Structure 1
Amino acid sequence: MTTADAPEAAAQTAEAPTAAALDDSATAEVTEEEVTEENSRSSSEDFATTMQQATSADGNQEQSSDNDDDNDLANAILLGLGGVVVGAMLSNNRQVALSTPDRIVVTRSDGTQQLIKDDIALLRQPGSTVATENFGDGSSRTIVTRSDGSRIVTIRDADLRILRRTLISADGEQTMLLDDTSVVEPVDVASLPSPAPTFDGSAADLDETALREALMARLAVDRRFSLSQIRDISEVRSLVTSVDVNGVTFQTDSAAIDADQARKLTALGNVIREAIADNPNEIFLVEGHTDTVGDPAANLALSDRRAESVALALSEYFQVPPENMVIQGYGEQFPRIQQEGDVRENRRASVRRITDLLQTAATE
């Protein structure tokens, strides 16, 4: 089960989040790092830890029953999430079910699972400097400065959820990309319009005009949502067209994309890059999905890794700005084919344009 199986909490949320990182006068501990080819990841490189090597609640790693409500996930990210012990209890009665160096999966008290990962990873491109300000409440502010002088400022809460992301050009012009700091009304799923259609984006000779029309279709509902609501509530993100990119395939337990696979993203990459050039506020959600082979928690982490590889490939090969993309894995919870086991059609990535869903767009 994934975050998408438990939309109730996200649907009912109607409070503005608070975090010390939102206060410019708050005191923080600062770390800084230069990003090089050696310490960044490309789409063709796999993750250091495979799913077989990952530790889970069913694995051999010694489990911890200690309740660690003060667990600081922001610091854990800096040390590597693999250091978070399987079985450990985090805040809000969540138990670690899977631990890898780049992602952990926790099980909530209601049995649903939540993926926790570093959303800044996509922005860590060679030639950049990454400065992270860590605050006492676990929230953080990360400033990625590029060689051209532009900066991307991302504020996250103690669970590493993005609260705000701003692009600041070299001349000081600011573009608000994501803003989850305002009060957003609860979601009444039953009142939402019917889902938008799915577009098959796997053909090698894909018509870019048809793809552009599908991806850029306007929203048919007169309200906006938080990024958390879009990520966590399937009925919300389904309001916009999903473009499936089935042409990109992955080896078992791998998230790497080679150059031949990346070429199959040509039409999608061109359309997204041009859309962002026309409107710098555009935001695209890259989703990852798996079949039901393997452990559900491992599939959740693997699907998110694969979504990240697709986003990285879009940046590397087609110059899509990474700050305009959000990635989210959903594991095995949303199969295209309702069938258990090794089903190729269920191992897929998909992309949605969520600009018109976001509450940020309503304030522009």
Structure 2
Amino acid sequence: MVREIGDRIIIQFGGHVTVESNDRPRMTRGAKEVFYEDLPRGRTRETIVRENGNQIITVRDRYGNVIRRSRITPDGREYVMVYVDDQYYNRDNSWRDPGLDLAPIRLTIPVNEYILDAADVDDPERYYTFLDQPPVERIQRLYSVDEVKRSARVRDIVRRVDLDTLTFETGSADIPESELGKLKGLAGAMEKLLGENPAETFLIEGHTDAVGSDEDNLALSDRRAESVASALTNSFAIPPENLVTQGYGEQFLKIKTEEATRENRRVGVRRITPLVAPVASAN
């Protein structure tokens, strides 16, 4: 651990610095019941029972990393959202970027088919058709959510929506109520995709401009990602278990400048289902 910033922790694995936060408050908000069980090898099983009878079951390793997550409906159907095979997962919490096993990405499609800027969307249906597309290269194996969060090369396998129409004030992670409408098209696409496959998982990526320290910006960007995830749940009823969040600070500037720039204070969204879910990966 490098530093605690509020409810965020800055972690360093070798030369890789990342921010970690607890998603339990967002996941358990409004739950009917929450209980925990101890499993072998230091693992824990969290069961969240919702008012509609759905059970969200998450298995974490001894370090808190999510290695299984599924939804069980009242009629007994199970939808596996996250699964990682033990043979690929480090048990000692050391970090090796799984992207190192992959060749450099070779993009064979136009950039605007790989990254969708919200400012260019004139029809909300475009969010759905964009996110519904397959990864841009063959997936070698399933990854844990934490591997996807930490590896830029693994994330690059799937396409990204840049929500550059929803930006933040300097130093703030708040979304004014007047700005919530900018999430409507994206939320509609998520709802449609979830109607077809309730096991979809979306990664919300938070970003900052280059003003401020690297560590403060990591924490701020993580709060921005969480704010968007919470807004999607609270205002548009996207289930929280289908959303994961991660902040990247100033690592991926949209506008390459050290100045305070609104375009850099943004979030991005990826549909990471093919990377983390067994059925989607097989398809």
TM-score normalised to structure 1 length? 0.67
Question: Partner residue of 2:159?
Answer: 241
CA distance in 1, matches of 2:2, 2:86: 30
Equivalent of 2:9, from 104, 108, 126?
A: 104
Contact conserved, 2:159 with 2:271, CA < 8 A, in 1?
yes
Change beyond 3 A, Cα 1:99–1:181: farther
Aligned residue for 2:275, secondary structure, equals coil
Shift of 1:120: 2.4
Equivalent of 2:219, from 298, 301, 316?
A: 301
Question: Partner residue of 1:217?
Answer: 133
CA distance in 1, matches of 2:81, 2:244: 11
Equivalent of 2:174, from 239, 242, 256?
A: 256
Q: Which amino acid in structure 1 is aligned with residue 106 of structure 2?
A: P
Contact conserved, 1:273 with 1:321, CA < 8 A, in 2?
no
User: Deviation per CA, 1:157-209, whole angstroms, max 9, x where unpaired?
Assistant: 23221111010111221111101234349543325432862111146x74122
CA distance in 2, matches of 1:111, 1:155: 28
Equivalent of 1:193, from 95, 106, 115?
A: 106
Q: Which amino acid in structure 2 is aligned with residue 143 of structure 1?
A: T
CA distance in 1, matches of 2:232, 2:36: 25
Shift of 1:138: 5.2
Aligned residue for 2:274, secondary structure, equals coil
Q: 5 Å matches for 1:29-68?
A: none
Aligned residue for 1:212, secondary structure, equals helix
Alignment RMSD (CA, Å): 2.3
TM-score normalised to structure 2 length? 0.85
Q: 5 Å matches for 1:1-364?
A: 95-100=1-6, 102-108=7-13, 110-133=14-37, 139-184=43-88, 186-187=98-99, 188-194=101-107, 197-202=114-119, 206-223=122-139, 224-226=141-143, 227-360=145-278, 361-362=280-281
Contact conserved, 1:250 with 1:257, CA < 8 A, in 2?
yes
Shift of 1:338: 1.5
Q: Which amino acid in structure 1 is aligned with residue 2 of structure 2?
A: V
Structure 2 gap ranges (5+): 90-97
Which has more radius of gyration? Answer: 1
Q: Which amino acid in structure 1 is aligned with residue 103 of structure 2?
A: A
Change beyond 3 A, Cα 1:138–1:198: same
Aligned residue for 1:160, secondary structure, equals coil
CA distance in 1, matches of 2:32, 2:114: 39
CA distance in 1, matches of 2:75, 2:129: 33
Change beyond 3 A, Cα 1:149–1:296: same
Aligned residue for 2:71, secondary structure, equals strand
Aligned residue for 1:303, secondary structure, equals helix
Aligned residue for 1:230, secondary structure, equals helix
Shift of 1:316: 1.4
Change beyond 3 A, Cα 1:339–1:134: farther
Change beyond 3 A, Cα 1:301–1:138: farther
Shift of 1:134: 5.1
Please identify runs of 4+ aligned residues in structure 1 that moved more than 6 A: none
CA distance in 2, matches of 1:254, 1:286: 17
Shift of 1:308: 0.9
Shift of 1:135: 6.1
Aligned residue for 1:172, secondary structure, equals coil
Question: Partner residue of 2:92?
Answer: none
Alignment length (residue pairs): 267
Structure 1 gap ranges (5+): 1-94
Q: Is the helix fraction higher in 1 or 2?
A: 2
